[in-house]
């Protein structure tokens, strides 16, 4: 199954789709550092990206004439217009690429699309525009007129959506807000996924069930102690049990734990096998160089080593200290190395990030966790296989 990757960044979503079995026909990204990251890994012979055709430039300037038979369009349009830390301009932000995404879908007519963005898109402030984004993706041939505001276009889309007048290209859309930690990513990263299937397909889709939970982590740490034993952490080196979770832990101790999922993965879990970094780096581990200067202050206390990391961020004015720091049990902090951050974003160790620490961290802060992308893309592929089988009268179950 062929795919097209828009706003690829460092390649997190594209990698996940490739791991799920999609083969990128074109990978589009405007940032030269991110494109260099993908090319660096192509030169190293990294098999998942070896054949990616990278287009460095604006999505709106791509000639799609020779791109055919595309099953999936995937992408994470720039999140800054909707990010909690951004300027919240939504449609008024020149970086809003949802209209461009809908145009690519209109042109390529894929069987499905997989779009990711920040949870801020779903805030009440953006409620009308979020509705507009969804309807625009569902009805990609219903384009905005030159003399029409986006809100006027929304009203026209709403009218068409509630009648049978729009008989052109349509998609059935499933929007879902998820926490990446619930899917085995060692990071609490809330994101919205917009998954659509072409309406002429007999496809049923529901978002994959969570596989990991905080309750299971509490049970592993504070009921059985298996977490500490697994990491060989002596009792004296363990943090104090959080007082606010006492009742929750007691309920887990006394209740039926048969239905517990896997434990949330923590920073400590993610960094297993990595040596302590030094300013000179480690020859045997790519991108594992200590960046000095980390300090803790109000609102910037780092990510506790025995919880999933805070969401890594790119930031408008450099890398914010709080989200990209490791906080040890004794309260001391240091910056995550690029490799550690890549682990937190579930990039494979053989995948190298191009550029300085700040630049590489920006790429990682903007990335989709690879494992989460693979989980969602795998579910999309499975439902497409079922739809294809139904189209020829075969019976297939997932």
The confidence score (pLDDT) of residue 37 equals: 94
Can you give the C-alpha Rg of the chain in angstroms?
22
Q: Do domains 2-210+369-391 and 213-365 have the same CATH topology?
A: no
Say whether 372 sits in a helix, a strand or coil: helix
Tell me which fold the domain 213-365 belongs to.
DNA Methylase; Chain A, domain 2 (3.90.120)
Q: Is the pLDDT of residue 173 over 70?
A: yes
Contact 183, 212 (CB under 8 A): yes
Q: What is the pLDDT of residues 39-78, one digit of tens each?
A: 989 877 777 888 889 999 999 999 999 899 999 999 999 8
The pair phi, psi for residue 111, each rounded to 5°, is: -70, -30
Q: Is the pLDDT of residue 322 over 80?
A: no
CA–CA–CA angle 272, 274, 275 (5° rounding): 130
pLDDT band at 313 (very low <50, low <70, confident <90, very high): confident
Proportion of the chain above pLDDT 70, given as a percent: 92
Q: Is the pLDDT of residue 317 over 50?
A: no
In whole angstroms, give the CA distance from residue 146 to residue 143.
Answer: 9
In whole angstroms, give the CA distance from residue 253 to residue 247.
Answer: 10
Q: Is the pLDDT of residue 290 over 70?
A: yes
The confidence score (pLDDT) of residue 79 equals: 52
Q: Is the pLDDT of residue 89 over 60?
A: no
Give 317's contacts (C-beta < 8 A, 6+ positions apart): none
In whole angstroms, give the CA distance from residue 246 to residue 249.
Answer: 5
Domain spans, the chain = 2-210+369-391, 213-365
In whole angstroms, give the CA distance from residue 105 to residue 11.
Answer: 20
What DSSP string runs through 194-260?
Answer: EEEEETTS-----PPPP-EEHHHHHHHHHTS-HHHHHTT--GGGSPPPPGGGHHHHHHHHHS--TT-
In whole angstroms, give the CA distance from residue 44 to residue 373.
Answer: 23
Look up tokens 């803790």; give the residue: 296
CATH number of the domain at 2-210+369-391, out of 3.40.50.150, 3.40.640.10, 3.40.50.740, 3.90.550.10? 3.40.50.150
pLDDT band at 90 (very low <50, low <70, confident <90, very high): very low
The residue among 57, 70, 55, 144 whose CA lies nearest residue 104 is 70
């Amino acid at each position: 199954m062929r795919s097209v990757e828009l706003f690829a960044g460092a390649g997190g979503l594209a990698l996940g789709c490739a791991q799920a079995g999609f083969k990128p026909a074109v990978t589009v990204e405007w940032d030269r550092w991110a494109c260099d990251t993908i090319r660096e890994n192509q030169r190293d012979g990294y098999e998942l990206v070896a054949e990616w055709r990278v287009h460095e430039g604006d999505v709106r300037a791509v000639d799609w004439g020779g791109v055919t038979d595309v099953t999936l369009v995937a992408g994470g349009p720039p999140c800054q217009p909707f990010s909690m830390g951004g300027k919240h301009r939504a449609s008024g932000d020149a970086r809003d690429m949802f209209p461009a995404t809908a145009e690519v879908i209109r042109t390529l007519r894929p069987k499905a699309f997989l779009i990711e963005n920040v949870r801020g898109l779903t805030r009440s402030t953006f409620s009308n525009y979020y509705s507009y984004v969804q309807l625009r993706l569902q009805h990609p041939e219903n384009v905005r007129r030159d003399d029409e505001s986006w809100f006027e276009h929304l009203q026209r889309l709403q009218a068409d959506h509630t009648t049978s007048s729009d008989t052109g290209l349509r998609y059935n859309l499933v929007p879902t807000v998820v926490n990446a930690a619930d899917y085995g990513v060692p990071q609490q990263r809330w994101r919205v996924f917009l998954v659509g299937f072409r309406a002429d397909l007999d496809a049923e889709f529901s978002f994959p069930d969570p596989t990991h939970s905080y309750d299971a982590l509490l049970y592993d740490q504070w009921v059985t102690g298996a977490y500490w034993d697994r990491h060989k952490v002596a009792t004296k080196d363990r943090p104090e049990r959080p007082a606010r979770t006492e009742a929750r832990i007691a309920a887990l101790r006394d209740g039926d734990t048969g239905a517990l999922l896997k434990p949330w993965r923590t920073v400590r879990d993610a960094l297993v096998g990595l040596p302590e970094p030094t300013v000179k780096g480690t020859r045997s581990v790519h991108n594992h160089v200590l960046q000095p200067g980390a300090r803790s202050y109000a609102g910037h206390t780092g990510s506790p080593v025995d919880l999933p990391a805070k969401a890594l961020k790119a930031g408008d004015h450099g890398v914010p200290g709080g989200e990209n720091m490791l906080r040890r049990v004794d309260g001391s902090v240091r910056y995550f190395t690029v490799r550690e951050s890549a682990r937190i974003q579930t990039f494979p160790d053989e995948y190298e990030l191009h550029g300085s620490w700040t630049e590489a961290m920006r790429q990682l802060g903007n990335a989709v966790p690879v494992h989460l992308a693979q989980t969602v893309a795998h579910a999309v592929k499975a439902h497409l296989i079922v739809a294809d089988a139904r189209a020829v009268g075969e019976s297939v179950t997932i």
